[in-house]
Chains A and B, each alone.
Chain A
Amino acid sequence: MPASDHRPAAQIKGGAVFPHRHLTGIDGLQPHEIMFLLDEAEQWIEANRSRAKSDKRLEGLTQINAFFENSTRTLLSFEIAGKRLGADVVNMHAAQSSVKKGETLIDTAMTLNAMRADVIVIRHMSSGAVRLIADKVDCPVLNAGDGSHEHPTQALLDALTIRRRRGAVAGQRVVICGDLLHSRVARSNILALTALAAEVRVCAPSTLMPAAIERMGVTPFTDFDAALDGADVVMMLRLQTERMSGGFVPSTREYHMRYGLTLERLARAKPDALVMHPGPMNRGVEIDSNVADHPSRSAITEQVEMGVAVRMACLDILTRRARGVEGWA
Chain B
Amino acid sequence: MIRAFCNATLVPSAGDGIAALVIDAEKIVAIGQSDVPDGTETIDCSAFGRSVLIAPAIIDLGVFAVDKAACRAGGIVRVGLMPDQSPVLDDPGIIQRAADMGKPDIWVHPIAAATRGLTGTDLAEMAIARDAGARAVATGRRWIADSGVMRRVLAYARDCDLTVVAHAEDAGLVGSAVATDGETATRLGLPSAPASAESLAIARDLLLAEETGARLHFRQVTTAAGFELIRRAKARGLPVTCGITPAHLFLSDIAMSDFRTFAHLSPPLRSESDRQAALAAVADGTIDILCSGHDPRGPEAKRLPFADSAPGMAGAETLLALSLGLVRDEVIEIDRLFALLATNPAKILGLDAGKLAPGAAADFMLLDWEAPWQIDTDRMAAKAGNTPFDKLPVQGKVLRLFKGGTELV
Contact = CB atoms under 8 A, between A and B. Distances in A.
Contacts of A147: 189-190, 305, 307
B306 A128 contact: yes
Interface string A103-134: 10110000000000000000010111101100
Contact of B186 (A101, A131, A132, A216): A216
B152 interface: no
A127 B303 contact: no
Contact of B258 (A131, A146, A213): A131
A128 B188 contact: yes
Contact of A127 (B181, B189, B300): B189
Given A127-B259, A131-B258, A131-B259, A213 B304 contact: no
Contacts of B307: 126-128, 147
B199 interface: no
Nearest to B194: A211
A184 B183 CA distance: 15
B187 interface: yes
B205 to A, nearest CB: 25
Nearest to B192: A211
B185 interface: yes
A105 B181 contact: no
A105 B188 CA distance: 19
A149 interface: yes
A126 B186 contact: no
Contacts of B192: 211
Interface residues of B, number: 22
Given A131-B258, A131-B259, A126 B185 contact: no
Interface in A173-190: 184, 187
B189 A150 contact: yes
B234 to A, nearest CB: 31
Interface string B286-323: 00000000000000100111111100000000000000
B325 interface: no
A215 interface: yes
Interface residues of A, number: 26
A269 B300 CA distance: 51
| Residue among B190, B300, B308, B309 with most chain A CB within 10 A | B308
Contacts of B359: none
A124 B305 CA distance: 10
B356 to A, nearest CB: 47
A74 interface: no
A132 B190 contact: no
Interface in B172-196: 181-183, 185-192, 194
A102 B305 contact: yes
Contact of B304 (A105, A148, A184): A105
A1 interface: no
A127 B305 contact: yes
A212 interface: yes
A19 interface: no
A126 B187 contact: no
Contact of A148 (B189, B258, B300): B189
Given A101-B308, A127-B307, A211-B181, A132 B189 contact: no
Interface in A142-158: 146-150
A302 interface: no
Interface in B182-219: 182-183, 185-192, 194
A103 B304 contact: yes
B333 to A, nearest CB: 37
Contacts of B189: 127, 146-150, 184, 187
A102 B308 contact: yes
A132 B183 contact: no
B198 to A, nearest CB: 15
Contacts of B181: 211-212
Given A103-B300, A211-B181, A212-B181, A129 B305 contact: yes
Contacts of B300: 103
A131 B192 CA distance: 20
A152 to B, nearest CB: 13
Contact of B306 (A126, A150, A187): A126
Interface string A16-60: 000000000001000000000000000000000000000000000
A210 interface: yes
B223 to A, nearest CB: 14
A165 B304 CA distance: 41
| Residue among A128, A212, A216 with most chain B CB within 10 A | A128
A106 B308 CA distance: 13
A127 B188 contact: yes
A105 B305 contact: yes
Given A127-B259, A131-B258, A211-B181, A216 B187 contact: yes
Contacts of B305: 101-102, 105, 124, 126-129, 132, 146-147
Contacts of B187: 27, 187, 216
A216 B182 CA distance: 11
A129 B259 CA distance: 9
A126 B187 CA distance: 14
A149 B191 CA distance: 10
Contacts of A105: 304-305
Given A127-B307, A128-B190, 17 more contacts: A27-B187, A102-B308, A102-B309, A103-B300, A105-B304, A127-B189, A128-B306, A129-B305, A132-B305, A147-B189, A184-B189, A187-B187, A187-B189, A210-B186, A211-B181, A211-B186, A213-B186
7 contacts: A128-B190, A128-B259, A128-B306, A146-B189, A147-B189, A148-B190, A149-B188
Closest 8 CB pairs of A and B: A128-B259, A126-B305, A148-B189, A211-B181, A149-B189, A102-B308, A102-B304, A210-B186
Interface of A: 27, 101-103, 105-106, 124, 126-129, 131-132, 146-150, 184, 187, 210-213, 215-216
